[in-house]
Amino acid sequence: MKEGFRQAMAWLHTWTGLIFGWLLFAIFLTGTLAYFKAEITHWMQPEIPARTLSSEASLTLAQDYLQQHAAGASRWLIDLPNAREPGLTLRWQQAPAEPGKRGQFTKKTLDPQTGTDVQGRETMGGDFFYRFHFQLQMPYPWGRWLSTIAAMVMFVALISGIITHKKIFKDFFTFRPRKGQRSWLDGHNAVGVLVLPFHLMITYSSLVIFMSMVMPASILAAYKGNAEAFFDELFPESNRPTAAGQPGQLIPLAPLLERARAQWPEGQAGSLSVNNPGDANASVVLERDGAEGVVHDFGRAVTFNGVTGELLSTTPALPVPMAIAGAFYGLHMGNFAGPVLRWLYFICGLAGTAMIGTGLVIWLGKRQLKHAKSGVMPFELRLVEVLNIASMSGLMVAVVAFFWANRLLPVGMAERANWEVNSFFIVWGLSVLHALLRRGRAAWVEQLALAAGLFCAVPVLNALTTPYHLGVSLVQGDWAMAGFDLTCLGSGLFLGWAAWKMQRAGRATSVPRARVRPVPLEREAT
Residues that bind other proteins (CB under 8 A): 170, 172-177, 190-191, 194-195, 197-198, 293-295, 331, 336, 340-341, 344-345, 347-348, 351
Residue 342 Cβ, how far from other proteins at the closest point, in Å? 10
Residue 58's CB: how many other CB atoms inside 10 A?
23
What does the longest C-alpha to C-alpha distance in the chain come to? 100
Which ranges in 92-209 belong to alpha helices (H)?
127-135, 142-164, 181-194, 196-209
| H or E element at residue 435 | helix 416-437
Which of 350, 452 has the CB closer to other proteins?
A: 350
| CA-based nearest residue to 36, from 419, 486, 430, 356 | 486
Which of 126, 187 has the CB closer to other proteins?
A: 187
Residue 205 Cβ, how far from other proteins at the closest point, in Å? 12
Which of 105, 175 has the CB closer to other proteins?
A: 175
Which of 157, 331 has the CB closer to other proteins?
A: 331
Residue 322 Cβ, how far from other proteins at the closest point, in Å? 16
Residue 177 Cβ, how far from other proteins at the closest point, in Å? 5
Which of 228, 266 has the CB closer to other proteins?
A: 266
Check if the beta carbon of residue 56 is closer than 8 Å to that of residue 254. Answer: yes
Helix (H/G/I), strand (E/B), else coil: 279:
strand
* Angle at alpha carbon of residue 46, lines to 43 and 51, rounded to 5°: 100
Which of 292, 485 has the CB closer to other proteins?
A: 292
Which of 45, 189 has the CB closer to other proteins?
A: 189
Side by side, which strands form the sheet with 269-275? 105-110, 88-93, 75-79, 269-275, 283-288, 301-305, 311-314
Between CA 518 and CA 524 the distance in angstroms is 10
Between CA 379 and CA 411 the distance in angstroms is 45
Between CA 152 and CA 147 the distance in angstroms is 9
* Angle at alpha carbon of residue 496, lines to 494 and 498, rounded to 5°: 70
Residue 191 Cβ, how far from other proteins at the closest point, in Å? 7
| H or E element at residue 469 | none
Residue positions counted in the chain: 526
Helix (H/G/I), strand (E/B), else coil: 251:
coil
Between CA 326 and CA 238 the distance in angstroms is 18
Residue 295 Cβ, how far from other proteins at the closest point, in Å? 7
Phi, psi (degrees; rounded to nearest 5) at 192: -70, -50
| CA-based nearest residue to 44, from 35, 36, 52 | 36
Which of 317, 383 has the CB closer to other proteins?
A: 317
Which of 295, 409 has the CB closer to other proteins?
A: 295
Residue 486 Cβ, how far from other proteins at the closest point, in Å? 20
Residue 199 Cβ, how far from other proteins at the closest point, in Å? 10
Between CA 9 and CA 220 the distance in angstroms is 35
Residue 70 Cβ, how far from other proteins at the closest point, in Å? 39
Give how far Cα 236 sits from Cα of 101, 221, 228, 279, 394, Å.
Answer: 20, 21, 12, 22, 46
Residue 387's CB: how many other CB atoms inside 10 A?
18
Residues 6 or more apart whose Cβ sits within 8 Å of residue 190:
174, 175
Check if the beta carbon of residue 445 is closer than 8 Å to that of residue 502. Answer: yes
Buried residues in 326-360 as b, exposed as e (16+ CB within 10 A): bbbbbbbbbbbbeeeebeebbebbbbbbbbbbbbb
Which of 87, 326 has the CB closer to other proteins?
A: 326
Residue 22 Cβ, how far from other proteins at the closest point, in Å? 25
| CA-based nearest residue to 167, from 12, 367, 6 | 6
